[in-house]
Chains A and B, each alone.
Chain A
Amino acid sequence: MSAMKPAASERVFDVGNIVLLCVLSLMFLIPFLAVIATSFISAEEAMRRGAFILIPEKLDFGAYDMLLNRGMIIYNAYKVTLFRVTVGTCLNLLLTATLAYGLARRTLPGRNGLVLIIFLTMIFHGGLIPNYMLIDKLGLKDTLWVLIFPGLISAWNLFIMRNFFLTLPEELEESAIIDGASPPVILWKIVVPLSMPAFATIGLFYAVHHWNDWFSASIYINDQSKMPIQVVMRNILLSGLLQDETQVELIRDPPPAATLKSAVVVVSTLPILFVYPFIQKYFVKGMMVGSIKG
């Protein structure tokens, strides 16, 4: 009898825990589900049912039609974002990896001084205005490169990468030298293939940053044709309007502002949500690596 008691309370604990976690999971999901639902509500239904609608009676694609078929603004923004994600991430990885690899050489004269120079940038920054003036003077404003150059290397990612290179066994390289391989050959033929997991993790950090970044584009880009998706989304969320030629072309029964806003959130977040389950584990790994001191 007394042996049964803990088992019963155990079960109550387990069930309670699972119910609680299900409720919490719903809390994480509800805002997304509500936005998806709202994006399908037609003007007519919003008029008739009013206020907040959790489940639309029928799926109305008016907002998506307006966003995707009647104007180039979303496509353009996507192109800008894709440009910065691909070109930006490649350059990020190239510069981060070369610098990290060089600084991972234990015998390099001046290594500690160079590391200190980079470390100082992590605790002291020029701040908003000096950065703004620099970008202005370099003539980067209103160019696509302003989305890439100022953030080429994150010192944090650099140190993660360097720690990774430091864990590669030195014997590998020594034996390659005995076989007559030159430093560039060692880097390209031995180090790079071994470092693919680190490249994947750090590359994803950079790529998600490029996808999500809003602030730098919002202050440096005024030309609408160069605005990335986050800036365009922000403008639509603020105004509830598409700010381009579609406004000239009159649409019968335009979707309600809330529907249009929801649709733009869905359109600009869906790609991330689709790849997210596949990249999640790399992020968790990177988080662990970053937290372990080298």
Chain B
Amino acid sequence: MATTNTAGAKPAAGPGAARRKLWSAIKLHRFYYYLILPGMLYFIIFDYIPMFGVIIAFKDISPFEGVSAIFTSEWVGFKHFIRFWNSYYFWNVMRNTLLISGYKLLFGFPAALLLALLLNEVKHTGFKRIVQTISYLPHFISTVVVAGLVMMVLSTDSGMINAIVVAFGGEPVHFLGDPAYFRSILVLSHVWQTVGWGTILYLAAMTGIDPGLYEAAKIDGASRLRQAWHITLPGITPVIAILLILSIGGLLNAGFEKVLLLYSPSVYSVADIIDTYVYREGLNKLNYSFATAVGVFKNILAMILILGANYVAKKMNQTGIW
């Protein structure tokens, strides 16, 4: 063992000593590694193996081959990506994805802000709490129930909306099968389900505003509307900005399950999004490689959006989601 005394009596740290030190630190933390092990195994098996599985996007895999085909089959390069890029479906699913989630943002985002402003003006705390509780309710029900409610409310023979249409002398409309209405239905039901829950962060930010500002405004004779406009809104601008930027990161997620539950071939032209296209190509038509390629394409775009959004958020406020 080579120990060179450089400074006083302390044994210096050679590479061997450093390794020993690390080894003893690891041994000291033995218990914590045992705790971590099952969780890490979970991520390796259920996240990293599928991540590795995206190589099938660059091969021709059919579900009838064995698992070894993933390794032995020939590489086909970007064939599937190019086919997707050139297909009729490319622009259709891209447009639908961006339009549906864009409309959701356009209407859902201000709706939550507006509801938060209204709730903030309520002085009676009991009433405020009741309205909040009711407005959170739709957040807790499953997508299947939301889709079921939509189908029942819009049903042609027993639905509430068509009952109103008929009462005014109209003909019942098959709303869910009509491309003119489908996106509006998705957006409206989205706003209905998320607007209450979306107020939580705004309301929390509003409680942090200095009450002295309102006192001063009142003495100056500012009306409640002006107070909301000149004090409340500027007071929560940082929260609004962060939430807006971060929601840009999710722009490619247009609500897969709800579209899948509500759409039908007659509205594919306006309803088919990237995720539903992947689902049909992969699990119905069994084009495993092609569907994976489309999924990888979406994932890479989404990654750019998320990292970009987070970068901007950090620049602005020093608070990203991570």
CB distance from A46 to the nearest CB of B (A): 8
> Which residues of B have CB within 8 Å of A133?
53, 56, 63, 67, 288
- B89, CB-defined interface residue at 8 Å: no
> Which residues of A have CB within 8 Å of B299?
124-125, 127
> Which residues of B have CB within 8 Å of A10?
223-224
- B134, CB-defined interface residue at 8 Å: yes
Asked whether B162 lies within 8 Å of A52 as measured between CB atoms, the reply is yes
Which of A16-24, A59-67, A173-181 is the interface stretch? A16-24
- A201, CB-defined interface residue at 8 Å: no
In the assembled complex, the Cα of A234 lies from the Cα of B143 at a distance in Å of 10
Asked whether B29 lies within 8 Å of A51 as measured between CB atoms, the reply is no
For B320, give the chain A residue with the smallest CB separation: A293
- B166, CB-defined interface residue at 8 Å: yes
- A288, CB-defined interface residue at 8 Å: yes
- B209, CB-defined interface residue at 8 Å: no
In the assembled complex, the Cα of A31 lies from the Cα of B145 at a distance in Å of 11
In the assembled complex, the Cα of A41 lies from the Cα of B201 at a distance in Å of 41
Sorting the interface of chain B by its residue count into under 10, 10 to 19, 20 to 34 or 35 or more gives 35 or more
Asked whether A280 lies within 8 Å of B136 as measured between CB atoms, the reply is yes
> Which residues of B have CB within 8 Å of A32?
137, 149
Asked whether A28 lies within 8 Å of B137 as measured between CB atoms, the reply is yes
Asked whether B50 lies within 8 Å of A125 as measured between CB atoms, the reply is yes
Name B288's contact: one of A20, A129, A268 (CB within 8 Å).
A129
**Which A residues, 94 to 125, have Cβ-Cβ distances below 8 Å to chain B?**
95-96, 98-99, 101-103, 105, 107-109, 114, 117-119, 121, 123-125
> Which residues of A have CB within 8 Å of B192?
27-28, 31
Asked whether B152 lies within 8 Å of A34 as measured between CB atoms, the reply is yes
For B136, give the chain A residue with the smallest CB separation: A280
- B118, CB-defined interface residue at 8 Å: yes
In the assembled complex, the Cα of A20 lies from the Cα of B135 at a distance in Å of 13
Known: A124-B51, A256-B158, A276-B140. A95 touches B38 (CB 8 A): yes
- A90, CB-defined interface residue at 8 Å: no
> Which residues of A have CB within 8 Å of B157?
51, 258
In the assembled complex, the Cα of A213 lies from the Cα of B141 at a distance in Å of 10
**Which A residues, 150 to 166, have Cβ-Cβ distances below 8 Å to chain B?**
150, 152-153, 155, 158-159
Asked whether B43 lies within 8 Å of A118 as measured between CB atoms, the reply is yes
Asked whether B145 lies within 8 Å of A265 as measured between CB atoms, the reply is yes
Name B40's contact: one of A34, A99, A108, A283 (CB within 8 Å).
A99
> Which residues of B have CB within 8 Å of A119?
322
> Which residues of B have CB within 8 Å of A123?
302-303, 306-307
Asked whether A234 lies within 8 Å of B261 as measured between CB atoms, the reply is yes
Known: A28-B196, A99-B39. A130 touches B292 (CB 8 A): yes
> Which residues of B have CB within 8 Å of A269?
141-142, 145
Asked whether B46 lies within 8 Å of A150 as measured between CB atoms, the reply is yes
Asked whether A128 lies within 8 Å of B279 as measured between CB atoms, the reply is yes
Binary per-residue interface labels of chain B (132-174) against chain A in the complex, 1 for a CB within 8 Å, 0 otherwise = 0111111011111101110111010111101100100000000
> Which residues of B have CB within 8 Å of A9?
223
For A184, give the chain B residue with the smallest CB separation: B31
Asked whether A261 lies within 8 Å of B152 as measured between CB atoms, the reply is yes
- A208, CB-defined interface residue at 8 Å: yes
- A192, CB-defined interface residue at 8 Å: no
> Which residues of A have CB within 8 Å of B50?
125-127, 130-131, 134
Binary per-residue interface labels of chain B (205-238) against chain A in the complex, 1 for a CB within 8 Å, 0 otherwise = 0000000000000000101110000000000000
In the assembled complex, the Cα of A291 lies from the Cα of B121 at a distance in Å of 24
Known: A38-B158, A52-B158, A237-B144. A130 touches B56 (CB 8 A): yes
Asked whether A288 lies within 8 Å of B204 as measured between CB atoms, the reply is yes
Asked whether A265 lies within 8 Å of B149 as measured between CB atoms, the reply is yes
Asked whether B121 lies within 8 Å of A17 as measured between CB atoms, the reply is yes
CB distance from B107 to the nearest CB of A (A): 15
In the assembled complex, the Cα of A42 lies from the Cα of B158 at a distance in Å of 13
Asked whether B39 lies within 8 Å of A95 as measured between CB atoms, the reply is yes
> Which residues of A have CB within 8 Å of B39?
95-96, 98-99, 102, 153, 158
CB distance from B263 to the nearest CB of A (A): 13
In the assembled complex, the Cα of A257 lies from the Cα of B190 at a distance in Å of 26
> Which residues of B have CB within 8 Å of A234?
144, 261
Name B283's contact: one of A51, A219, A258, A268 (CB within 8 Å).
A219
Task: Name 19 interchain pairs, CB-CB below 8 A, sorted by A.
Answer: A14-B123, A17-B121, A109-B25, A117-B40, A126-B50, A126-B53, A127-B296, A129-B283, A130-B49, A159-B322, A212-B140, A212-B142, A213-B142, A237-B147, A258-B152, A265-B152, A268-B145, A273-B137, A277-B133
Further 5 A-B residue pairs, CB within 8 A, beyond A123-B306, A258-B152, A268-B145: A24-B118, A117-B48, A126-B50, A127-B299, A134-B45
Interface residues of A (CB under 8 A from B): 6, 9-10, 13-14, 17-18, 20-21, 24-25, 27-32, 34-35, 38, 46, 51-54, 95-96, 98-99, 101-103, 105, 107-109, 114, 117-119, 121, 123-134, 137, 149-150, 152-153, 155, 158-159, 182-184, 187, 208, 211-215, 219, 230, 233-234, 237, 256, 258, 261-262, 265, 268-269, 272-273, 276-277, 280, 283-284, 287-288, 291, 293
Q: What 5 pairs across the A-B complex have the smallest Cβ distances?
A: A126-B50, A99-B39, A130-B53, A127-B295, A52-B163
